[in-house]
Amino acid sequence: MLKAIKRALVTYYTCRDPKEQRKQRRRPQLHFGLSATEASAEDGTISVTFTFRSGMRYCCPSPACHFFHLFFQTDWGYFRRLLAEQGVEMRSPLKFLIRVVYERGALFLEDPGNGDSTYFPWEKTSWNEFVTDESNPSDSQRVVRSSDSDGDA
């Protein structure tokens, strides 16, 4: 089930338009790591990990900037259809537990708005966790746990 969920997530991220999705032949490429680590069909919860990878360049460390549609305005209906195409049925309301990992050495712009800005490397691997809940969409993008509070990076 986790592989099927991952396929649905990758499609969700790389191809928002189902028609485009059908046209797309090659496997979509993501510049961040993405994995579904746990899922429970009964309680509708999916645990997802996004990774800002070491050596890769990103505009900024804000998860909402990169994974916008899981942090704001999640298109639950579309995501559910993608799940169904993979043969996965999840209970309503769906809930994502999202872990965002920053690998040491991931590169971010010092000043994202500025064209001359240089990249700086992330110093120490760390992570934050967020919850996005279909029944309470406005409550998203709140950090519920982090490696700082857990001390386990």
Which position among 60, 64, 107, 131 is part of the footprint of Zn ion (CB under 5 A)?
Answer: 60
Distance (Å, rounded) from C-alpha 75 to C-alpha 95? 12
Pairing between strand 143-146 and 126-133?
Answer: antiparallel
Query: Of 93 and 105, which CB lies nearer to Zn ion in the complex structure?
Result: 105
Q: Tell me if 31 contacts Zn ion by CB under 5 A.
A: no
Q: Which helix H or strand E contains 107, and what residues bound it?
A: strand 107-109
Choose the binding region for Zn ion from 20-28, 33-41, 65-73, 145-153 (rule: CB under 5 A): 65-73
Instruction: Give the shortest CB-54-to-Zn ion separation in angstroms.
Output: 18
Which position among 18, 31, 40, 65 is part of the footprint of Zn ion (CB under 5 A)?
Answer: 65
Instruction: Give the shortest CB-117-to-Zn ion separation in angstroms.
Output: 12
Q: Contact, 109 vs 128, CB < 8 A?
A: no
Closest by Cα among 138, 136, 141 to 71: 141
Q: Tell me if 59 contacts Zn ion by CB under 5 A.
A: yes
Give the residue ranges of DSSP H helices in the chain.
2-14, 18-23, 63-66, 68-71, 76-85, 147-150
Choose the binding region for Zn ion from 3-11, 61-69, 126-134, 140-148 (rule: CB under 5 A): 61-69
User: Where do contacts with Zn ion occur on this chain (CB under 5 A)?
Assistant: 59-60, 65
